[in-house]
Amino acid sequence: MTILILAKKRGQYLQQLSHNINLVDKKDKKVFLSVNSIGKYMKDTTPKVLISANERINIVALLAKKIYKAQTKVIITIHINNTKQIRNENRGFFIYVYRKLIIFIARLTYKWADHVVTVSQGVAADAAKIFKIPPSKIKVIHNPIVTGNIEYKMKLPVDHPWLKPEEKQVILGIGRLVNQKDFYTLLSSFALVKKSMPGAKLIILGEGPQREKLEEKILALGLKEHVAMPGFVDNPYNYLYNASVFVLSSAWEGFGNVLVEAMATGTPVVSTDCPSGPAEILCDGKYGPLVSPGDIKGLATAIVKILENPPPSEQLKRRANDFTVEKAAEEYMKIINAY
């Protein structure tokens, strides 16, 4: 039986949960207040394995096991390059101090984990350094991206006037409108692309705190009629399938899920060579060009080259199939079955 424990039941993806998953809502107002409820749950129900999903939840799960002396094996997972996150996340002094405190507590508690899983080799190297985890204790399992319903989702009608078969120069970016995704560089690069490809258009999917500033940037570049920002969409696959190229402009990542999603639809990709993930996904540029983060001219040049000479879609799909749900599940089961 698979059980999903939530400190608090909320989020955009709840409706996508399988009916076969037993959902447990602990109804805690704050994540750190769930140590007691999760500890009692582990003590009373004795699950064989608990897998936790981010720094705060990792800490909570490990503290709960330690305090309640639960026999449950705890596998913690790390999804982001924490060093880059702290250095580049421009959210004020108190957020910086809070992040540093979380890292300090994590360093003290992660030694209690039975296993540590990271989503990329880059995150593994960073985790070993920042959390003082022995590399031998870390297992890299890439995110499970490709599912059996992508083919169906990508063929669904897409409600956007630019995504028509006759449009051959539509660039797509996807992500939260935050510093990490660096859509400022993408917009500046797009302005250069327009000089050699006047018919090019750019769509950015996602929502976030930088919307207003990005809209101001679009106006300043004179791109109002050529850039669309529809916000968050439930199904990005039909956008990806109908776009000419997907661009990941991030300053840093943990893995870069959307690169795989784009390739799974057969859409060419361009990415920054940011830490961590894109170079692993694209095999150091074999499946799509890699550009230094923040390199406006380099990103524009790579976009134009891909638009002029896109790689075979089947080649991209084959690479994407290295990141299926089944393959990731198989790797997790190897760890679980070893207990």
Instruction: Answer yes or no: do 205 and 329 share one domain.
Output: no
More reliable by pLDDT, 209 or 13: 209
Instruction: Answer yes or no: do 301 and 287 share one domain.
Output: yes
Q: What is the rounded CA–CA span in Å between residue 263 and residue 145?
A: 11
* pLDDT reading at 192 higher than 90: yes
Ordered strands of the 138-140 beta sheet: 49-52, 73-78, 115-118, 138-140
* pLDDT reading at 108 higher than 90: yes
Instruction: Answer yes or no: do 191 and 122 share one domain.
Output: no
Facing residues of 51 across strands?
75
What is the CATH classification number for the domain harbouring 83? 3.40.50.2000
Instruction: Answer yes or no: do 112 and 164 share one domain.
Output: no
Q: Is the dihedral of CA 253, 256, 259, 262 positive or negative?
A: negative
State residue 83's pLDDT score: 84
Q: In which residue are the tokens 């207040």 written? A: 33
* pLDDT reading at 129 higher than 80: yes
- Residue range 164-185: average pLDDT? 94
More reliable by pLDDT, 30 or 200: 200
- Residue range 74-82: average pLDDT? 93
Q: Which of 24-38, 101-115, 143-157, 166-180 has the lowest mean pLDDT?
A: 24-38
- Residue range 118-137: average pLDDT? 93
Strand, helix or coil at 64? helix
Tens of pLDDT, residue by residue over 151-161, are 999 999 998 99
- Residue range 58-63: average pLDDT? 94
Instruction: Answer yes or no: do 212 and 228 share one domain.
Output: yes
Do residues 52 and 60 make contact, with C-beta atoms less than 8 angstroms apart? yes
Instruction: Answer yes or no: do 44 and 191 share one domain.
Output: no
Instruction: Answer yes or no: do 315 and 171 share one domain.
Output: yes
Mean pLDDT for the chain overall: 92
- Residue range 71-99: average pLDDT? 82
Instruction: Answer yes or no: do 157 and 272 share one domain.
Output: yes
* pLDDT reading at 26 higher than 70: no
Instruction: Answer yes or no: do 29 and 97 share one domain.
Output: yes
Tens of pLDDT, residue by residue over 214-235, are 999 999 999 999 999 999 999 9
Q: What is the rounded CA–CA span in Å between residue 302 and residue 298?
A: 6
Instruction: Answer yes or no: do 318 and 333 share one domain.
Output: no
State residue 147's pLDDT score: 92
Domain that holds residue 166: 150-322
- Residue range 258-278: average pLDDT? 97
Pairing of strands 49-52, 22-25: unpaired
Instruction: Answer yes or no: do 18 and 99 share one domain.
Output: yes
Query: Residues 25-55, buried b or exposed e (16+ Cβ, 10 A)?
Result: ebebeebeebbebbbebbbeeeeeebbbeeb
* pLDDT reading at 29 higher than 70: no
Q: What share of the chain is helix, strand, coil (3-state, %, to 5)?
A: 45, 15, 40
State residue 211's pLDDT score: 97
Instruction: Answer yes or no: do 289 and 331 share one domain.
Output: no
Split into its structural domains, the chain has a count of 2
Q: Where are the alpha helices (DSSP H) in the chain?
A: 35-45, 55-68, 82-88, 93-109, 121-130, 150-154, 183-196, 211-220, 237-242, 257-264, 278-281, 296-308, 313-320, 325-337
State residue 142's pLDDT score: 97
More reliable by pLDDT, 4 or 288: 288
Residue 90 — very low, low, confident or very high, per pLDDT cuts 50/70/90? low
Of 25, 18, 21, the closest CA to residue 1 belongs to: 21
